[in-house]
Structure 1
Protein backbone atom coordinates (compact mmCIF):
# COMPACT_ATOMS: atom_id res chain seq x y z
CA UNK A 1 0.00 0.00 0.00
CA UNK A 2 2.97 2.28 0.49
CA UNK A 3 3.65 2.00 -3.22
CA UNK A 4 0.08 3.01 -4.05
CA UNK A 5 0.32 6.03 -1.77
CA UNK A 6 3.59 6.96 -3.47
CA UNK A 7 1.86 6.76 -6.86
CA UNK A 8 -0.80 9.23 -5.73
CA UNK A 9 -3.59 6.83 -4.74
CA UNK A 10 -4.97 8.01 -1.37
CA UNK A 11 -4.58 5.64 1.55
CA UNK A 12 -8.27 6.07 2.36
CA UNK A 13 -9.30 4.73 -1.04
CA UNK A 14 -6.83 1.86 -0.92
CA UNK A 15 -8.00 0.80 2.55
CA UNK A 16 -11.65 0.99 1.45
CA UNK A 17 -11.01 -1.18 -1.64
CA UNK A 18 -9.04 -3.74 0.38
CA UNK A 19 -11.62 -3.59 3.20
CA UNK A 20 -9.02 -2.59 5.78
CA UNK A 21 -9.34 -0.04 8.54
CA UNK A 22 -6.96 2.90 8.33
CA UNK A 23 -5.87 2.79 11.98
CA UNK A 24 -4.19 -0.67 11.83
CA UNK A 25 -2.51 0.36 8.59
CA UNK A 26 -0.99 3.44 10.17
CA UNK A 27 -0.02 1.41 13.25
CA UNK A 28 1.74 -1.09 10.98
CA UNK A 29 3.37 1.74 9.04
CA UNK A 30 4.77 3.14 12.28
CA UNK A 31 6.17 -0.25 13.36
CA UNK A 32 6.07 -2.77 10.47
CA UNK A 33 7.18 -5.85 12.40
CA UNK A 34 7.00 -6.83 16.02
CA UNK A 35 10.22 -7.08 18.01
CA UNK A 36 9.59 -10.78 18.64
CA UNK A 37 9.30 -11.47 14.91
CA UNK A 38 12.53 -9.60 14.26
CA UNK A 39 14.34 -11.51 17.04
CA UNK A 40 13.03 -14.79 15.61
CA UNK A 41 14.41 -13.85 12.19
CA UNK A 42 17.83 -13.07 13.69
CA UNK A 43 17.85 -16.42 15.48
CA UNK A 44 16.83 -18.29 12.33
CA UNK A 45 19.56 -16.49 10.40
CA UNK A 46 22.18 -17.47 13.02
CA UNK A 47 21.07 -21.11 12.81
CA UNK A 48 21.09 -21.01 9.01
CA UNK A 49 24.64 -19.63 8.99
CA UNK A 50 25.79 -22.33 11.42
CA UNK A 51 24.06 -25.01 9.32
CA UNK A 52 25.62 -23.66 6.13
CA UNK A 53 29.09 -24.06 7.67
CA UNK A 54 28.44 -27.57 9.07
CA UNK A 55 25.37 -29.13 7.37
CA UNK A 56 25.73 -32.59 8.94
CA UNK A 57 25.16 -31.54 12.55
CA UNK A 58 21.89 -31.41 14.48
CA UNK A 59 20.00 -28.64 16.18
CA UNK A 60 21.94 -28.86 19.48
CA UNK A 61 25.23 -28.21 17.75
CA UNK A 62 23.64 -25.44 15.71
CA UNK A 63 22.30 -23.87 18.91
CA UNK A 64 25.80 -24.01 20.43
CA UNK A 65 27.24 -22.35 17.32
CA UNK A 66 24.56 -19.66 17.38
CA UNK A 67 25.23 -19.02 21.09
CA UNK A 68 28.94 -18.65 20.38
CA UNK A 69 28.12 -15.77 18.03
CA UNK A 70 26.17 -13.99 20.76
CA UNK A 71 22.61 -15.09 20.03
CA UNK A 72 20.76 -16.06 23.20
CA UNK A 73 19.09 -19.26 22.11
CA UNK A 74 17.70 -22.27 23.99
CA UNK A 75 17.99 -25.77 22.52
CA UNK A 76 14.22 -26.10 22.32
CA UNK A 77 13.94 -22.82 20.41
CA UNK A 78 16.64 -23.99 18.01
CA UNK A 79 14.77 -27.25 17.49
CA UNK A 80 11.52 -25.40 16.73
CA UNK A 81 13.20 -23.04 14.26
CA UNK A 82 14.95 -25.95 12.53
CA UNK A 83 11.69 -27.89 12.36
CA UNK A 84 9.78 -24.94 10.91
CA UNK A 85 12.44 -24.23 8.29
CA UNK A 86 13.22 -27.87 7.44
Structure 2
Protein backbone atom coordinates (compact mmCIF):
# COMPACT_ATOMS: atom_id res chain seq x y z
CA UNK A 1 0.00 0.00 0.00
CA UNK A 2 1.34 3.44 -0.92
CA UNK A 3 1.63 6.30 1.58
CA UNK A 4 -1.05 8.38 -0.16
CA UNK A 5 -3.45 5.43 -0.06
CA UNK A 6 -3.03 5.31 3.73
CA UNK A 7 -3.50 9.08 4.04
CA UNK A 8 -6.67 8.98 1.92
CA UNK A 9 -8.08 6.11 4.01
CA UNK A 10 -7.37 8.06 7.21
CA UNK A 11 -9.06 11.19 5.85
CA UNK A 12 -12.09 9.15 4.84
CA UNK A 13 -12.42 7.74 8.35
CA UNK A 14 -12.35 11.19 9.97
CA UNK A 15 -15.04 13.13 8.08
CA UNK A 16 -17.99 15.02 9.55
CA UNK A 17 -20.47 12.34 8.49
CA UNK A 18 -18.67 9.96 10.85
CA UNK A 19 -19.03 12.39 13.78
CA UNK A 20 -22.81 12.72 13.53
CA UNK A 21 -24.84 9.54 13.39
CA UNK A 22 -28.03 8.93 11.45
CA UNK A 23 -30.88 10.97 12.95
CA UNK A 24 -33.86 8.99 14.15
CA UNK A 25 -37.31 10.13 15.18
CA UNK A 26 -39.86 8.74 17.60
CA UNK A 27 -43.01 10.36 18.98
CA UNK A 28 -42.11 13.75 17.49
CA UNK A 29 -38.59 13.82 18.99
CA UNK A 30 -35.52 13.64 16.74
CA UNK A 31 -32.22 12.33 18.12
CA UNK A 32 -28.87 13.01 16.41
CA UNK A 33 -26.02 11.08 18.06
CA UNK A 34 -22.51 12.57 18.03
CA UNK A 35 -19.03 11.13 18.57
CA UNK A 36 -15.48 12.40 18.99
CA UNK A 37 -13.08 11.02 16.40
CA UNK A 38 -9.29 11.27 16.59
CA UNK A 39 -6.64 9.77 14.39
CA UNK A 40 -3.14 9.98 13.13
CA UNK A 41 -0.80 8.58 10.53
CA UNK A 42 2.91 8.12 10.14
CA UNK A 43 5.51 6.40 8.09
CA UNK A 44 9.16 6.13 7.29
CA UNK A 45 11.58 4.60 4.89
CA UNK A 46 15.10 4.44 3.57
CA UNK A 47 16.26 6.35 0.48
CA UNK A 48 18.88 3.71 -0.25
CA UNK A 49 16.22 0.99 -0.26
CA UNK A 50 12.95 2.51 -1.52
CA UNK A 51 10.97 -0.67 -0.79
CA UNK A 52 12.11 -0.73 2.85
CA UNK A 53 9.76 1.18 5.12
CA UNK A 54 6.28 1.27 6.46
CA UNK A 55 3.20 3.36 7.00
CA UNK A 56 0.21 3.13 9.25
CA UNK A 57 -2.68 4.98 10.76
CA UNK A 58 -5.11 4.63 13.58
CA UNK A 59 -8.53 6.04 14.33
CA UNK A 60 -10.49 5.98 17.56
CA UNK A 61 -13.94 7.25 18.40
CA UNK A 62 -16.18 7.54 21.41
CA UNK A 63 -19.74 8.77 21.88
CA UNK A 64 -19.99 12.25 23.37
CA UNK A 65 -23.75 12.81 23.38
CA UNK A 66 -26.75 13.59 21.25
CA UNK A 67 -28.76 16.54 20.04
CA UNK A 68 -32.42 16.22 20.98
CA UNK A 69 -34.88 18.15 18.80
CA UNK A 70 -38.47 18.51 19.96
CA UNK A 71 -40.54 21.00 17.99
CA UNK A 72 -38.45 24.17 17.81
CA UNK A 73 -36.40 23.30 20.93
CA UNK A 74 -32.91 21.82 20.58
CA UNK A 75 -30.96 20.51 23.56
CA UNK A 76 -27.67 18.69 24.07
CA UNK A 77 -27.55 15.53 26.17
CA UNK A 78 -23.97 14.50 26.99
CA UNK A 79 -23.09 10.81 26.98
CA UNK A 80 -22.23 9.24 30.32
CA UNK A 81 -18.79 7.60 30.17
CA UNK A 82 -18.91 5.27 33.16
CA UNK A 83 -15.32 4.08 32.64
CA UNK A 84 -14.02 7.65 32.77
CA UNK A 85 -16.01 8.34 35.95
CA UNK A 86 -14.60 5.21 37.62
CA UNK A 87 -11.01 6.05 36.64
CA UNK A 88 -11.35 9.66 37.82
CA UNK A 89 -12.83 8.42 41.09
CA UNK A 90 -9.83 6.15 41.60
CA UNK A 91 -7.39 8.98 40.85
CA UNK A 92 -8.99 11.26 43.44
TM-score using structure 1 length: 0.23
Which is bigger in relative contact order (C-alpha 8 A, separation at least 6)? Answer: 2
TM (norm. structure 2) is 0.22
More helix by share: 1
- Greater share of strand residues, 1 or 2? 2
